[in-house]
Amino acid sequence: MLPFILKRVFQSFLVLVITGAIAFSMFTFVGDPIDNMLGQERTMEDVERLRAQLGLDKPVPVQYFRFLNEAIQGNFGVSYRQGREVSEIILERAPATLELAALSAIFAVVMGIALGVFTAIRRDGFAANFIMSASLIGVSLPTFLIGILLIYLFSVELGWLPSFGRGEVVQIGGWTTGFLTESGLKALILPAITLGLYQMTLIMRLVRSEMLEVLRQDYIRFARARGLSDRVINFRHALKNTMVPVITVIGLQLGAIIAFAIITETVFQWPGLGLLFINAIQFVDIPVMAAYLMMISVMFVVINLLVDILYAFIDPRLRVSAK
């Protein structure tokens, strides 16, 4: 088991070094930030001074090494736009996105698995068929449209839920949370559904087809022949086997939830990282973009590492071959 984990950790490290190189190369290739930071009325001295201050006058490998070294310590330099530490800006914005992502991930996984199992067991039932058809809408509508429709229905027409922002937040240490106030919770519902809907339908459809496949297997038949009840067969024997391939996809999708929160955050004016990133792109605020890229890749890598370990934990056959 341990060599397997070490191998995966090493691979993850390689991935991070490569994304680091991509993030860094943005500094060199995506225009000259000095042009953006100093307006039309600049002197050569100003340009030189800022260049030296930002370390842009050094050779490329030196800059890369410095970048990596700083990045490991969580230091991504100064935002070109706001003139503040990037890490500070990100830490300030991260709670909003992480809370939103966590809630929609829970929504997607719990509802996706529950509905997937339901539609697999009641394969020909009316409810199952209805859910399957309705889920097609979930996959085919673009996220922003779903967000707008939800806002129209629940905020504009019914007036039940707020249409933008986080509501009231509570400060706990360096973390701001919307989970503790009523308006904060209310504000979370629509964006979480919007963000998680696509992932939910995807997980549901995958669970359903995997489960149908598993239910056809001989060991399920044999479990029936042993007299086990349907509940034990469906939720113990079949579900565990269903989860083996599903977990991989869930891992990738969780990463995607965080990475692609951008659209949802824009629709709901959610003060999170996605919105920060959009603004950074508009302004060519490279340190923010680089930091965002690094953060997302770290999350992807960590989640997939956990998934791989979980995978081996669930499937004993993998444990043996991984030795």
Partner 1 sequence: MTEPVLSIRNLTVEIPTRRGLFKPVQNVSYDIHPGEIRGVVGESGAGKSMTGNAVIGLLDEPARIASGEIWLKGRRIDNLSAEEKRAIRGREIGMIFQDPLTSLNPLFTIGEQLVETIQLHLKVSASEAKERALALLERVSIPDPKTRFDQYPHQFSGGMRQRVVIALALCSEPSVIVADEPTTALDVSIQAQVLDLIKELASETQVGVILVTHDMGVIADTTEQVTVMYSGEVVENGPTDKVLSAPEHEYTKSLISAVPRPQVKLHRFPQVSYGGRETTFKIEDLARNWHKPELSKSGKLVEVKGITKKFLEKSALLPSRRTYFTAVDDVSFDIKDGEVFGLVGESGSGKSTVARMIGTLLPVDGGQIHFDGDDVTAMSAVEMANYRKQIQMIFQDPFSSLNPRMKVESIVAEPLLHHKLLPPDQVSGRVHELLDRVGLTRAAATKYPHEFSGGQRQRISIARALATQPRFLICDEPTSALDVSIQAQILNILKDLQEHLGLTMLFISHDLPVVRQMCDRVGVMKQGQLIEVQDTETLFANPEQAYTAQLLDLMPRLAQLSS
* Binding region for partner 1 (CB under 8 A): 217-219, 221-229, 232, 237, 240-241, 244, 314-317, 320, 323
What is the DSSP code (8-state) at residue 180? T
Smaller CB separation from partner 1, 107 or 311: 311
Report the residue number, 99 or 210, with the smaller CB distance to partner 1. 210
Pick between residue 133 and residue 321 the one whose CB is nearest to partner 1: 321
Q: How far is CA 226 from CA 166, 220, 237, 240, in A?
A: 53, 10, 13, 18
List, in order, residues 6 or more apart from 169 with CB less than 8 Å away. Answer: 176, 177, 178, 181, 184
Nearest approach, Cβ of 112 to partner 1 (angstroms)?
20
Which is nearer to partner 1, 6 or 172 (by Cβ)?
6
Minimum Å distance from CB 237 to partner 1?
Answer: 5
Q: CB of 284 within 8 A of CB of 79? A: no
153 Cβ neighbours under 8 A, 6+ residues apart: none
Q: From the CB of 129, what's the least distance to partner 1, in Å?
A: 17
Q: Which is nearer to partner 1, 84 or 221 (CB)?
A: 221
Q: Cβ 230 to partner 1, closest distance in Å?
A: 8
Which residue type is seen at 199?
A: Q
Min dist. Cβ of residue 12 to partner 1 (A): 18
| Distance of closest approach, residue 244 Cβ to partner 1, in angstroms | 8
CB 106 within 8 A of CB 96: no
Running DSSP on this structure, what letter comes out for residue 176?
Answer: E
Residues 162/183, Cβ–Cβ less than 8 Å:
yes
The tokens describing 180, both together, are 């503790």
Smallest distance, Å, CB 219 to partner 1? Answer: 4
- For partner 1, give the closer residue by CB, 124 or 182: 124
- Measured from the CB atom, the residue of 49 and 240 that comes closer to partner 1 is 240
Task: Name residues whose C-beta falls within 8 Å of residue 121's C-beta, 6 or more positions apart in sequence.
Answer: 211, 234
Helix axes 86-121, 273-282, angle to 10 degrees: 120
**What minimum distance in Å lies between the beta carbon of 288 and partner 1?**
41
Q: What letter would DSSP give residue 71? A: H
Closest CA to 79 of 284, 269, 272, 265: 284
> At 88, which amino acid appears?
E
- Identify which of residues 3 and 59 has a Cβ nearer to partner 1 in the complex: 3
